[in-house]
Structure formats: C-alpha cells, structure tokens
Chains A and B, each alone.
Chain A
Amino acid sequence: MTVAQPEGLNFECETGNYHTFCPISCVAWLYQKIEDSFFLVIGTKTCGYFLQNAMGVMIFAEPRYAMAELEEGDISAKLNDYEELKRLSLQIKRDRNPSVIVWIGTCTTEIIKMDLEGLAPKLEAEIGIPIVVARANGLDYAFTQGEDTVLAAMAARCPKKEVEAEKEERNAIQKLLNFGRQKEEVAAADREYVDHPPLVLFGSLPDPVVTQLTLELKKQGIKVSGWLPSKRYTELPVLEEGYYVCGVNPFLSRTATTLMRRRKCKLIGAPFPIGPDGTRAWIEKICSVFGIEPKGLDDRERQIWESVEDYVKLIRGKTVFFMGDNLLEISQARFLIRCGAIVPEIGIPYMDKRYQAAELKLLEETCKEMGAPMPTIIEKPDNYNQLQRIHEMQPDLVITGMAHANPLEARGINTKWSVEFTFAQIHGFTNTRDLLELATRPLRRNSNLKDLGWDKLVKEAAEV
C-alpha cells in the first residue's frame, strides 16, 4: 500500500563506509571522448591495478592513458618531481603527440603535496603541449566526480571570442564540409534558430547522444554553441561572460561552479535529461530561460512512454533500492518512480543540493503525483547497514556495485550493476528504452528462472 506522505524529502548522512570506484576511472571514458588527449595518472601501483582491472579489455586497445608510477625515491623526494614528470611527458609527446596531456593527481600526490598545479605551467611552456591538472583522488571524490574535476580544469582552458578567428582556421575541415554550400543556405540554417544568447552544454556523453540532445533542442529553435568537452581538445567551446551553460549529468557541480565563478557564465539549473520526464523538464527549463514556448513536448513524451510500456509494466509497483555509488541515483530514482516504482532509499556518495535543486524538486513532485512515498536520501551511506536494511525489506531490485551484486543474487535478491548506467547511453528521449532495458534485465532474467525454485543459493540465506 502506498500512501503519499505530506512531508518533503528526507535527508540523512551515514558513515561513508561504502563501495564505489576511484574517481581516476574517469580517464577510461574521457580519453575515448577527447580523441587527441593523453591522460597521465600520477600515482602508485594501487591506482594502476585498479584501472587495469576496472577497465577490463579496453586496456589492450593501445589506450591513450598511462601511469606515472611513483617509486620510493619519489615519495622521499630523492628524485626531482619536475625532472621526472618532464622525462615522462616528453616520452608521451614523442610516442603519441597528443594535443593535451591531462595529469590526474591521486591520493599519493595529495599526501606528499606534489605541486602539480605549480609544475604544469612551467613544463607546459617548456615542452609546448598544454597540461591540464585534475585532482581526481579518492580522498575527496567518488567515481563520476572524477569527470567533474577534469571538466572543471578544462573549463579554464576554453577559449574566449578573440581567438575564434584563429579557431575557425584550425577548423579547416569544418569549412571544407561547408564548401559548396551557398552562403544563403548557411544563413537559412541559422534562421531555424530563435535568437537567444549562446548556450554551452557541459558533461561528457557519447557522440550519438550529443547529436540526439542537440537535435532535441534544435526542434525548439535552440542552438547549442558548444559542448564541454568536445571531441577534440582543440575544439573546446568559446566561453564568454554572460553565456548560458547547462549540465547534462548530476555529478558536475564543480564544473558548474567553475563556469559560474571563473567564466562568469549563467547556469541554467534544470533536472537532468535522464528518462523522458527528465528530458522534457530539462528542455522546458532551457526554453523558459530563453523565453521560448516549448513545442510538441507533450506529444513527444507521451509517445515515448507509450513505446516503452512493455518495459514500464515490469517496473510498476516494484520496490527499488539504490545503494549509491555514481551520483546518477537521484535522477534514476525520479525516473523509476515516474514508471510506478517505489523507492524506499536512495544512497548517494555526495549530494549537492544547490546543483541538483531542480532535480530534487522534480523528484518530490513526481512522488506526489504518483502517490509514492518520499524516499530517504542517504548521503555517504554505510554498506553494512544498507545490507541489513535490504535483507529486512527484501526489495524487488537493488541497484548496486559489483562488490555486492553476486552475494545479493545468491540470497535471492535481484540486482543491477550500477556502473553499467554510467557507460550506457541513458540520456534523452531516444535512449529511454535502453535505460529500461538495463533496469529491467534482472527482473526479466530472474522471472525466466523463477519456476526452477533455486533462487537462494547460499546455505544460511539471511547471513550478511
């Protein structure tokens, strides 16, 4: 029985004893996104072993990332950091010739206070390649927040308008593509857009999703002037004072802050375009900022919901528990509640109530509209306590990291591995099906197996 509770969302904070990936994992998707980059993780064997194991086979495809593995001499300062980094960076320049080297600072560089931000500009001048420093370490951040630290550092490198002429020159290929098109045609293409201040979106997404979201805004007459990050470092978007920016992922609060404070951009605080409800709210918010009346969103959202009804059916009325490890949890929970699920607990590593304000508000509204109980949002969860609660409430689905997935399955509890959501395409109207495909997979698989009668596969089923 679901009874709507009158009070708002309930926030709690536990011990922070939870499992998540180290934020340096962001190199795995960012080096693929930014094609001319090279990521150098300055850390120990522990970091290297994590990347190697977490990234599985990707490591064998000549990755554009490497470890600068610190040795005892580096720790005790017997070796000169600058000379060491110069040696390795020159080797990378020679072997790979990247347009940018991103130094990822780790726990170790923090503890020994290696001044990466200080060393980078000097070395940059000496070797002639931009060096961007991101301190994506496990002391301060969790998993996807790694991308946040990198993008915040990149935001400082986005060009200003003055250099746009030069930028155009660099974009000779773009020009070539336009070659043959009449000038009027290009101008006509521009007339498809409403006149509004430049909008730059931030957050790393696979290229097809970038295209989809860009087209979605184009339908409303909104032109996306650029994305942070772009496909290449040399194509970072122009950022001027007064430009509008909007995030596509919930874990980008540092980037948002940097864009506002350092680049004087205006942040559009919107829910995130995850699920058709989120995508619609995201577009509506952007439209409202530009004073545009959104067109056809009602139909669009309804059609998407209709087309995925077969999946939504599986979620409706089910209880979903988020253990929390990648900061996508609030948006995902909001979407699943809209599908008709009941979410008792949303674990999340870190909750930025300001950056996620619009998303939290939408979550609250969604609960009210669906008559679902308000979830408890648990920041810095304690996995042990969570497992006790899970075993007590026996949810239909637990969204969790791989450390707990198999043990929970063995105890008859359906699980979905949360990391998949960070790598799958889940944004926009178009990917709703993929998002549900992931979320319902354990339910579909396990209902296939249900009749076999061996859902509990440990001897003491209740033991934690």
Chain B
Amino acid sequence: MKLAYWMYAGPAHIGTLRVASSFKNVHAIMHAPIGDDYFNVMRSMLERERNYTPVTTSVVDRNVLARGSQEKVVDNITRKDKEENPDLIVLTPTCTSSILQEDLENFVDRAQMDSKGDVMLADVNHYRVNELQAADRTLEQIVEYYIKKARKKGNLPEGKTEKPSVNIIGMSTLGFHNQHDCIELKRLMADLGVEVNEVIPESASVHNLQNLPRAWFNLVPYRELGLMAAKYLEKEFEMPYIDITPMGVVETARCIRKIQQVINAQGANVDYEEFIDNQTRFVSQAAWFSRSIDCQNLTGKKAVVFGDNTHAAAMTKVLAREMGIHVVMAGTYCKYDADWFRKEVSEYCDEVLISEDNGEIADAIARIEPSAIFGTQMERHVGKRLSIPCGVIASPIHIQNFPIGYKPFLGYEGTNQVADLVYNSFTLGMEDHLLEIFGGHDTKEVIHKGMSADSDLNWTKEARAELNKVPGFVRGKVKRNTEKFARERNLSEISIEVMYAAKEAVGA
C-alpha cells in the first residue's frame, strides 16, 4: 500500500480510452463498476467535446461478483454494435476486471460472432502499466490488428506514395495541446513538400490503417505515445521512424534534418537547410528573442522543470541551450522510461529527479527556490503556495490548458508560444519582486464603498460569526445588502434571523 494524495499518470484504462475514442467510429466498452466512466466527464469538460464520448460501461455489480459477467459483456457489445454500428469495439479492462480474472478474451470471441464491426480486447494490465504505457500499447494493438486483417484479405496496398509522405503517430484526445501541435506539424510537412499520409489515432478511421505502409516514414512527436506502433511498422515494413520532438528551435531543425536524411535515402532529393535558416532567423521569433535584451535579463535565472518525458526534456533543452537559463533540476514522472530522460537532459541541468511523488517534487522546489517553474498543474499549485510563477508544460492539466486559440508547442509557431510562456513566467515573477521591494501596490487603505463601512448597525456575535462563514468574495455584498435591508426596516440590531430574512427578500 502506498499513501498517495495525487498522481501524475492515470490508470491504464484511461490510456486505452484515450486512444480508442480518438479514432472515428470506434467504441470502447469498459468492464467496470458504476462511476468508473468519469473519462466521459473529463473528455466532455476538458476538451469541450460536442459529441457523445463513445465509451460505455458494462457494469460490474453484485450480481456479476456472484455469478460472473456471463452474457452481460457479450450482450453489451452486440447491443452497441447494433445501436451505433462502430467499426471497432474495444473491450477495456479496469482494475476491477484485473482482479476478477474473467475470461474476457472469450467474451470478445463470442461477441465477434454476432457483431458486424470488429471486436477487440485491450491488452493492458492495470497493475503493470499506467495511462501512458497503456495508450502506447493500445495504439500498437489496433494498428497491428488492421494490418494483419488487411494482409489476410490481401488488401494491403503495394508500394509507397509517389511523393515523399509521412504518418504522424501519437496525436490523441486529452493530450497536451495535441490538436494545435497536429495542425502545426501538418503545416510544417506542407512547407517541406512532404505529404501527410495518415494521422493516428486522432480523427482517423480504422479502415485507413492499412494505408499506413504507403508512407515513406513515420514521425512520432511524443515519446509517450506512438513509439510501439512505429517500431511495429518498422519491423513489418522496414519503415523508418523519427522520434525527435520538434520542440524548440534547435530540436525542430534537428528533426527536419533527419526527415531530409530519411527521405533522401529513399530517392528524394531535398535540401532543407535554407528553409531551416530562413525560419529560424526570420519567421520564428524565438532565435531573435534569445538574442534580445529581454532574454539577456533572464541569463542565469534559476528554473525547475518537471513533466512527462517529451515536454520536460524538450523544455529543459530550450531553457538551457536557447535562452541561457540555469535549469537547476529537471524531472519526469515517467519512471518506466527514466533512462531515456536522464540521457536527454543530463548535460543541460544540475540534477535529475525521477519521481511520481508530488511531495518529493514540492520539497525539491522549496529547497531550490527557483525564479520560475515549468511543470504540470500540480507544480503550478506548489508555485502558488511558494509564490513562484509557473508555466504549465505537461499533463496533468486543467481546462485552461485546452485553449481555444491556436497554441502549439511544436514546430516554428510552437517556438514562439514557448518563448512567450517562458518570458511571461519570469517577468511576472520579477514584477512581483519589484513591487515587494517598492512596498507593494497602492498602499493606502481602501475606503469602503457606500454602506459597508463601520456603521451604526449592531451585528450580534452569532450573526457576525455567520457572516464570516460566507465566502470572502461575496461577504462584502452580503453585509451591505443585509444592512440596507435592516435600515429600511428600522432595525438597529442584526441577528442571524435578520441576515437570512434579508437573503430571502433581496437575495443578499
């Protein structure tokens, strides 16, 4: 047992659901008790999704405990197949089904016989993998399933596309700024003259998965999701993959050079150097920003970085290499992939922290006292408590991290966004600091407006205590309205009764 207040990566089924519900017309059925379907709430709320989340539950209740799921799972699958005609139904195990050890594979086989669509059991174990690993595995599993199916039917297309082309692998629902990154990467590919063959899993159809081998190469922008699928395609079709995250000016250039190398090896003849040079010096503002006086002021400022592998590693490099900021500590919660992270960031920071324990990270931040933090929502709250500004760079995230405006982290526009994020975090911190030195904002006592100042009215002790229970931001209004109410009725003393009578009368 582990005492835990907070967790960075969710349980395995969340990963499977993220991948399944990213595809078009794929339905996931969870084998879970009532209440475990809060994935739908997260998706509907955080992503402001307009469509019903294609996830339902085959409910595990007392009857299931006593007698097993029996026909229930099979019925639920075939029912959903009829209701919505999905191309694929993914039966998703949860922590509960992990312990029940029912033969879900058998249910899938039986349901498949009566279903028009395909049915599959997600191969994830709650106690062995987390959200990110499960997402990676489920994507590979779905890709493999449809490649094998097409091969069996003889539907696998022959050969490559005429022009150089790419599959972008790893864009998914509830991913940090994934939708914006996806647009930015498509733009970048268009600029490079590379056709986008398929983007998976977001908005993809499983029918198109058989076309994956037609691309010249695969691009896996995120370390956490897509690598397994890319490796599978490499093994099956000798498709090269590029796993350099194009985040920051240097890494974007490195990614583009790798693309150049990969497609030239297959007979293209491209030279992107001029494009990189032009983008870097004149289109993206980040290189110029690094050179400007603003950024000079950031030199040697201390920062702490924490997040998933992709974003924490990329951010560490951007801060240290491109802005001259002193990254005291870089950390990740992707413990299962810690070696990669250490290798990526070791030369750019003083210390590396690999941990899933938010208390440990908070302690490290308190000890280091950086000028700014770049982390998850959890670090943002640590920063609030310690009065250190924080830029959010990775999941777990809240609704404000699903902006409506265009805010990619990848590609050249991404470098601009990152520069803004860094700069705003630090200047806000500076401004705060200066205010403190010069005695804060306007230091004069605020004169109460209108009737809320000390008045002739007498609040009883109980009423005063009751007033103090009212949340601070409306307390003034409640006080004013209550006193107004009392004055109109010539009451000189305000008791609890008067207070609530006022609320009833005027909604104070």
Contact = CB atoms under 8 A, between A and B. Distances in A.
Interface string A32-55: 000000000010111011101110
A388 B7 CA distance: 37
Contacts of A16: 34, 59, 61
Given A49-B14, A66-B3, A140 B62 contact: yes
A458 interface: yes
A433 B36 contact: no
Contact of B35 (A20, A52, A66, A304): A20
A148 B65 CA distance: 22
B129 to A, nearest CB: 11
Interface string B33-51: 1111110111011001111
A254 to B, nearest CB: 15
Contact of B1 (A68, A92, A110, A143): A68
Nearest to A41: B4
Contacts of A433: 503-504, 507
B200 interface: no
Interface residues of B, number: 63
A45 B33 contact: no
Contacts of A304: 504
A258 interface: no
A59 B5 contact: yes
A404 B500 contact: no
A56 B41 CA distance: 12
Nearest to A403: B40
B50 A143 contact: no
Contacts of B5: 59, 63, 66-67
B466 interface: yes
B51 A48 contact: no
A5 interface: no
A174 interface: no
Contacts of A21: 35, 38
A45 B41 contact: no
Interface residues of A, number: 78
A143 B96 contact: no
Interface string B5-45: 11100110110000000000000000011111110111011
B254 interface: no
Contact of A20 (B32, B34, B56): B34
Contacts of B36: 22, 46, 50, 138
Contact of B50 (A68, A111, A140, A406): A406
A207 B378 CA distance: 30
A46 B31 CA distance: 13
A215 interface: yes
Interface in A12-32: 16-24
Interface stretch (A70-78, A159-167, A182-190, A263-271): A70-78
A52 B38 contact: no
Nearest to B385: A60
Contact of B33 (A56, A63, A138, A307): A138
B53 interface: yes
B469 interface: yes
A313 interface: no
A49 B65 contact: no
Interface string A86-123: 01100110000000000000011011100000000000
Interface string B469-485: 11000000000000000
B505 A407 contact: no
B83 interface: yes
Contact of A208 (B7, B49, B130, B469): B469
Nearest to B396: A52
- Most interface-central of B5, B35, B84, B381 (chain A CB within 10 A): B35
Interface string B260-272: 0000000000000
B36 to A, nearest CB: 6
B3 to A, nearest CB: 5
Contacts of B507: 433
Given A215-B497, A402-B41, A88 B10 contact: no
A108 B95 contact: yes
Nearest first, the 9 closest Cβ-Cβ pairs linking A and B are: A22-B35, A138-B33, A403-B40, A410-B50, A138-B35, A60-B381, A44-B95, A45-B11, A84-B1
9 contacts: A46-B11, A72-B127, A107-B96, A108-B96, A208-B470, A304-B504, A403-B40, A407-B52, A430-B500
Given A63-B5, A107-B60, A349-B34, 8 more contacts: A45-B11, A46-B95, A52-B6, A60-B381, A66-B4, A71-B127, A403-B44, A458-B50
